[in-house]
């Protein structure tokens, strides 16, 4: 009753749940969306999803590892020598994804904090005034041998589960930039999976 009055997730639920900074009402909507995604997977376990809501996973790092494992098996590569490479697509929302990614997986649910994504030039850009977060377009995540990865013109952007950052780190995404990566590092730019909206 106190949790409902304060619009906070009860502590006993928080212990069993994923990291989240959402109030109770928004958290319950999030739970429903997560169950819907899992239900769709259970209904068709052999079917590769067109696009995956990475924010809706309790352990998104394990999904990214699974992407590496699938590619390692298909291409007969060593798993420990692969890294996750990200490519931001031109598809602004999950509804615009027609088919599954030819290599890797299409993911959505990312928000850019401290900068914005310029859709016209497909690069990281300075935030607009009064814009806290910038929703990212669909991202294609695939695995590539670390030795073959070209990091020229890329900013290694840390991705976190929540705004709390620190212990909620998931992985480092590669975002295109025209500016030196140091600019975005000093600005504290990061991808956030759950901004509590």
Same domain, 87 and 36: no
Q: What pLDDT sits at residue 22?
A: 85
Do 116 and 42 lie in one domain? The reply is no
Name the residue with higher pLDDT: 45 or 60.
60
Confidence of residue 193 (pLDDT cuts 50, 70, 90): very high
pLDDT at 128 > cutoff 70: yes
**What 3 state SS string does the chain have?**
CHHHHHCCCCHHHHHHCCCCCCCHHHHHHHHHHHHHHHHHHHHCCCCCCCCEEHHHCCCHHHHHHHHHHHHHHHHCCCHHHEEEEEEECCCCCHHHCCCCCCCCEEEECCEEECCEEECCCCEEECCCCCCCEEECCCEEEEEEEHHHCCCCCEEEEEEEEECCCHHHEEEEEEEEECCCHHHHHHCCCEEEEECCC
Q: What is the pLDDT of residue 21?
A: 83
- Give me the pLDDT at residue 123, please: 95
**CATH number reported for the structural domain that contains residue 164 in this entry:** 3.10.490.20
pLDDT band at 3 (very low <50, low <70, confident <90, very high): confident
37 lies in the same domain as 69: no
Give the pTM.
Answer: 0.88
Percent of the chain with pLDDT over 70: 99
Q: Which range marks the domain in which residue 132 is found?
A: 49-194
Specify whether the CB–CB gap between 50 and 113 falls below 8 A. no
Q: How far is CA 86 from CA 30, 42, 103, 149, in A?
A: 25, 27, 11, 11
Q: Please check whether residues 100 and 147 belong to one and the same domain.
A: yes
| pLDDT score of 197 | 63
Q: 154 with 174, same domain?
A: yes
pLDDT-based confidence at 181, cuts 50/70/90? very high
Same domain, 11 and 78: no
Residues 31 and 124 in one domain: no
User: What does the block give as tokens for 66?
Assistant: 């699974």
Q: For residue 33, is pLDDT > 80? A: yes
Token readout for 87 is 């490519």
State the Cα angle at 19 between 15 and 22, rounded to 5°: 105
- Residue 77 and residue 156 share a domain: yes
Reference 174, options 84, 62, 59; nearest CA is 84
Q: How many domains does the chain have?
A: 2
- Of 112 and 150, the one with more pLDDT: 112
Number of other residues whose CB lies within 10 A of the CB of residue 176: 16
Same domain? For 134 and 152 the reply is yes
110 and 59 in a common domain: yes
Give the pLDDT score at 19. Answer: 83
Q: What residues contact 53, with CB distance under 8 A and at least 6 apart?
A: 33, 37, 94, 107, 108, 109
Average pLDDT, the chain: 90
């Amino acid at each position: 009753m106190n949790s409902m009055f304060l619009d906070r997730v009860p502590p006993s639920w928080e212990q069993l749940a994923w990291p989240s900074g959402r109030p109770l009402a928004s958290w319950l909507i999030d739970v429903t969306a997560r169950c819907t995604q899992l239900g769709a997977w259970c209904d068709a376990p052999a079917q590769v999803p067109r696009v995956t809501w990475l924010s809706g996973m309790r352990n998104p790092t394990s999904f990214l590892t699974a992407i590496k494992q699938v590619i390692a098996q298909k291409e007969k590569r060593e798993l420990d020598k692969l890294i996750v490479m990200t490519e931001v697509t031109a598809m602004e929302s999950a509804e615009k994804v027609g088919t599954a990614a030819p290599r890797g997986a299409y993911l959505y649910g990312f928000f850019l904090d401290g900068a914005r994504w310029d859709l016209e030039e497909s690069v990281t850009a300075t935030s607009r005034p009064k814009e806290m977060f910038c929703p990212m377009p669909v991202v294609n995540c695939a695995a590539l041998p670390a030795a073959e990865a070209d990091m020229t013109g890329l900013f290694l952007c840390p991705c976190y589960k929540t705004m709390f950052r620190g212990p909620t780190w998931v992985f480092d995404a590669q975002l295109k930039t025209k500016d030196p990566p140091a600019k975005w590092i000093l600005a504290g730019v990061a991808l956030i999976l759950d901004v509590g909206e």
